[in-house]
Amino acid sequence: MILVTGGAGFIGGNFVLQALQANVGGLVNLDKLTYAGNLQTLQSIHHFPNYSFYQGDIGDKSLVSKLLIQHRPSAIINFAAESHVDRSIHGPQDFIQTNIVGTFNLLESARLYFDTLEGSEKDHFRFLHVSTDEVYGTLEKSAPAFSETNPYEPNSPYAASKAASDHLVRAWFHTYGLPVLTTNCSNNYGPYQFPEKLIPLVINNALKGKPLPIYGDGLQVRDWLYVTDHCEAIYTVLHKGKLGETYNIGGNNEKTNISVVQTICSILDQLKPRSDQKSYAEQITFVKDRPGHDRRYAINASKIASELGWKPKETFETGICKTVQWYLDNQDWVEGVVSGSYRDWVSKQYTE
């Protein structure tokens, strides 16, 4: 039995689907259903007898304690977070509340529960915290990729809130002996990603004939990982990771933003050509840069490869084709998530 938090979001949702399709015991999903949480993602499994969903906040200690006592999970995997850098710039409050205070409360609930466990239940219990490479800050063009020993140098309110949560998780291991694991992953992409993030936003805008906004010069570099590879890495760390350790997870796919967008345009040109036969690349528009925009992220994932035997299965080329095809095949899902509040966000971010 696993308690997943944030399992109606992008990565958590993919994890829940993968775990249940692979028949992994029981799964309890606790999600607040913010704008980023979507139960449509979980339609195919919501009736499974070994699955239950609760709408609620990771910071609600009495709810979390009740769920822990009722379901007696052997692991908590914390995906729940405010996750979008641009939103954290416009309004950091929710990031502080969920990512820092929420994680603190979740750790406290987990600690109380862990203290009641005995024998093998206690030995097997794990708290896995899902975090990001953005805690390490930014890299110069030729600097070595982030390893687990890099200092934390977060630059956005989002990254700072995730860094703070990582520190709390670490402290609950060293001070209270809570059996924790932390993963720091690079940029994910794939099915069910909310179309505020670069890749689904570009696919969605392209199909709607809208501009494809590139911040600044578009030469910022991200290391892209297909989401199912991330989920498998989390599963690997949960089962084989050494307590108290952190594991960097990445796809070995460093790409500039402009090249990612051009790749998406050329895949769409083949799969769904524009009616005027011009390329979707015509819609590319350079816009004002993000304040404090990190120039480059890159992950050195050799620790998880050598110690736990995990490697990504998808290359960027295979993963991006699958992703574009998924969005073409699942326009209903996209239409379902781009509600009124999404439109408010787009006009705030891209017209100001």
Closer to ligand TYD by Cβ: residue 51 or 215: 215
Closer to ligand NAD by Cβ: residue 179 or 250: 250
Residue 182 interacting entry, from ligand TYD, ligand NAD, none, C-beta within 5 to 8 Å by type? none
Residue 31 interacting entry, from ligand TYD, ligand NAD, none, C-beta within 5 to 8 Å by type? ligand NAD
Burial (CB < 10 A; 0-12, 13-18, 19+), residue 345, is: middle
- Cross-strand bridge partners of residue 5: 30, 78
Stretch that binds ligand NAD, among 27-35, 67-75, 260-268, 277-285 (CB under 6 A): 27-35
Catalytic sites, residue numbers: 133-134, 158
Choosing from 4, 5, 27, 179, the residue that interacts with ligand NAD (CB under 6 A) is 5
User: Does residue 131 interact with ligand TYD by CB under 6 A?
Assistant: no
Stretch that binds ligand TYD, among 30-38, 141-149, 195-203, 322-330 (CB under 6 A): 195-203
Among the listed residues 197, 184, 9, the one whose alpha carbon sits nearest the alpha carbon of residue 88: 197
Residue 144 neighbours by CB distance under 10 Å: 10
Among the listed residues 300, 266, 301, 302, the one whose alpha carbon sits nearest the alpha carbon of residue 281: 266
User: Does residue 87 interact with ligand TYD by CB under 6 A?
Assistant: no
User: Does residue 198 interact with ligand TYD by CB under 6 A?
Assistant: yes
User: Does residue 187 interact with ligand NAD by CB under 6 A?
Assistant: yes
Interface map 111-150 toward ligand NAD (x if CB under 6 A): -------------------x-x------------------
Choosing from 215, 326, 342, 345, the residue that interacts with ligand TYD (CB under 6 A) is 215
- Contacts for 124 with CB less than 8 Å, ≥ 6 apart: 74
User: Does residue 345 interact with ligand TYD by CB under 6 A?
Assistant: no
The Cα-based distances of 340 to 55, 335, 336, 344, 347 in angstroms read 21, 11, 11, 6, 11
Structural contact between residues 3 and 71, judged by C-beta atoms closer than 8 angstroms: yes
DSSP E strands in the chain: the ranges are 2-5, 27-31, 51-55, 75-78, 126-132, 180-185, 187-189, 212-215, 221-226, 246-249, 254-256, 284-287
Using DSSP's 3-state secondary structure scheme, residue 31 falls into strand
Closer to ligand TYD by Cβ: residue 29 or 283: 283
Residues that bind ligand TYD (CB under 6 A): 85, 187, 197-198, 201, 213-215, 220, 222, 257, 290
